[in-house]
Amino acid sequence: MKRFLGLLLFLSSFAFSQLPPISQQPYPGTITVTVDASAASTKLFHAKLRIPVKPGPMVLLYPKWIPGEHGPTGPVVDLTGLKISADGQPLQWRRDDVEMYAIHVRVPNGTSALDVSLDYTSPAGAGIYTAGGTASDKLAVVSWNQMVLYPGGYEAEKITYEASLKAPVGWKIGTALPMAGQTGEVYQFKPSSLYTLVDSPVIMGEYLKVLPLTNPQGTPPVEMDIAADSQAALQFLPGVEDHLKRLPMEAVALFGATHYRDYHFLLSLSDHVAHFGLEHHESNDSRIPERTLSGEDIYKTLGGVIPHEYVHSWNGKYRRPVGLDNRNYEEPMKGELLWVYEGLTEYLGDMLMARTGLWSPERYRQNLAQEAAELDNKSGRRWRPLIDTSISVQTLNEAPHAWSNWRRGEDYYEEGELIWLEADMVVRQQTNGQKSIDNFVQLFHGQPSLGANQVPTYKAYTFDDVVNTLNQVTPYDWRKFLNERLWSTSPRAPLGGVEASGWRLVYTDKPDDVLRALEAERHYVDVSYSIGLIVSEDATIVDSFFFKPAAEAGITPGMKLVAVNGRKYNADLLRTAIREAKTSQQPIELLVENADYFKTYKLNYHDGEKYPMLQRNDKPDTLTEILRAHAK
């Protein structure tokens, strides 16, 4: 009875608690974290922490706002098995009523350290970013933010952690986190700030290949640590390794400096983990389908993720927008400048895909055509300016595919790319071809390089800094140029850069091989530029483009295609009907199921199939010049 009463008092005392403000003081003492990932393939990770403390109330935080994910995506739902004790005695903990990522605990008198144990239960398969699937039977990525609690009220740079990791027997690891030693499967890392720890994930795998991208004398060294679900997936297509090895030299030729001690591409090749890329200052965690680099057909679907995440070492980590330079993982992020952070990275990343030869110029144009067409047909741009997709990143990054044409998605990536291509063309025109966006990035992201024995640091920037640096390259009304594009609700995409670089967006009646490969990988049919539909493999309407025939007739996402012109639906039948309607007076008849009810819709559409491509216009072909290899 007495104990029960005490417990009630204890719990109620935190009911209206507040989180501590962030001080600039270093956290006293070093926190140790020991992660047991020896059973990674079961998707269960254990961590033990020893946290030096002082008696009294304390707040422990689970990382919430994850850098590079631009949102509160820390997987607190998968933080399980949490136990806190002092000197062997279990302590009562209580989650904050409002902030689900905060744990309150009262440190007893005479206690100098807390022992925390926790589990991270990784979901199987897909999911969002690092909170999605992180382990298969043969590989895993350890994201330290998922394995730690940290004391509230301190900057991540000012809390020191000493980490160790136990890997599965026989697996190898790769990471940018400086290592202190290894005993069997246990790796001991040098002390680092919480910031660097979270910024330095570890890839592990039974089949792990280390591919140096710089020669032994090259400084700073760059390597790829590639884990795959099979040995066969590590046998890359001819030329791929050579193209990958061109990345550091092309990046240095572009930026003119480096800001890392050494750099690790942590690449997972697996069909059983979430697919995405996440940037870090000295590494990146990119996860793509198993056969992407070894299978002819799937190689066509390789997007620009590998150089994109590498470019982020300069644009996003070394240069970081104000609002995304958070002091710890509790402080909310502000995404307004993501059209620079991601949009410029998308432009430079795709440019490096071509400059290294990972993409042919034709493949680059196929990608650009698809991005341009998608944006040029995006109905939501009539109500939502691009800048609002940046600002609302934390809602859009988990938005469903349905209605995304009207809602808009994270368009600051691809539309940012179009804007930076146009800015590049403006610079070239204003300077008679003497300067380009390369000059901007050399001023903005370039010298001085990180010195020997220095820890990476960053320089924050604002919108004004971007405008001022562009003006330094060549005087122009950059503020107006950018604001017009960022705040526009024009139905048309900014295609001025495509046009000025010698190309125009047109539509053909044959899908190219890349579009076909993407359809196969994503399990959908894309007839969005003709009748305005994206249809999944099970015939469900994934999206319906406003102002296109299907949407005008009343067909919307979530409905299901049953029949085309009276015959049971399949993808080829739909394409054939669209093609044949071009020479017919008859409407295309679609029988559609909508929540158990059936209805026939008639589409008076006679323009045939439409797939985007770029075609030369009468201007000089500057785009091909932009994509030419630049490294000596």
Q: Cβ-closest residue to Zn ion? A: 342
Q: Which residues inside 325-364 make contact with Zn ion, applying CB under 5 A? A: 342
Token couple for 2: 């007495």
**H helix count then E strand count, the chain:** 20, 32
- Least CB distance from residue 177 to Zn ion, whole Å? 21
- Least CB distance from residue 398 to Zn ion, whole Å? 16
Three-class SS of residue 209?
strand
- HSE-CB of 137 using CA atoms within 13 angstroms: 2
CA distance 362 to 421: 17
For Zn ion, the closer of residues 101 and 444 by Cβ is 444
For Zn ion, the closer of residues 70 and 106 by Cβ is 70
Q: Is the peptide bond before 220 cis (omega within 30 degrees of 0)?
A: yes
- Least CB distance from residue 207 to Zn ion, whole Å? 27
CA distance 600 to 292: 41
For Zn ion, the closer of residues 250 and 342 by Cβ is 342
Helix %, strand %, coil % for the chain, to 5?
A: 30, 25, 40
For Zn ion, the closer of residues 34 and 268 by Cβ is 268
CA distance 224 to 238: 17
For Zn ion, the closer of residues 69 and 96 by Cβ is 69
For Zn ion, the closer of residues 176 and 613 by Cβ is 176
Number of residues lying near Zn ion (CB under 5 A): 1
- Cα 83 to Cα 42, 88, 118, 149, 360, distances in angstroms: 21, 11, 6, 12, 54
For Zn ion, the closer of residues 155 and 414 by Cβ is 414
Interacting residues of 410 by C-beta distance below 8 A, sequence separation 6+: 338, 342, 389, 393, 396, 397
For Zn ion, the closer of residues 62 and 341 by Cβ is 341
- Least CB distance from residue 416 to Zn ion, whole Å? 10
Interaction pattern, residues 49-78, with Zn ion; x per rule: CB under 5 A: ------------------------------
- Least CB distance from residue 241 to Zn ion, whole Å? 24
Tokens 């607190």, residue located: 76
- Least CB distance from residue 354 to Zn ion, whole Å? 18
For Zn ion, the closer of residues 60 and 305 by Cβ is 305
Nearest to 590 by CA among 550, 552, 558: 550
Three-class SS of residue 632?
coil
Nearest to 198 by CA among 103, 287, 65, 60: 65
Burial class (CB in 10 A: 0-12, 13-18, 19+), 172: middle
- Least CB distance from residue 312 to Zn ion, whole Å? 6
- Least CB distance from residue 553 to Zn ion, whole Å? 38
- Least CB distance from residue 305 to Zn ion, whole Å? 9
Applying CB under 5 A, which residues contact Zn ion?
342
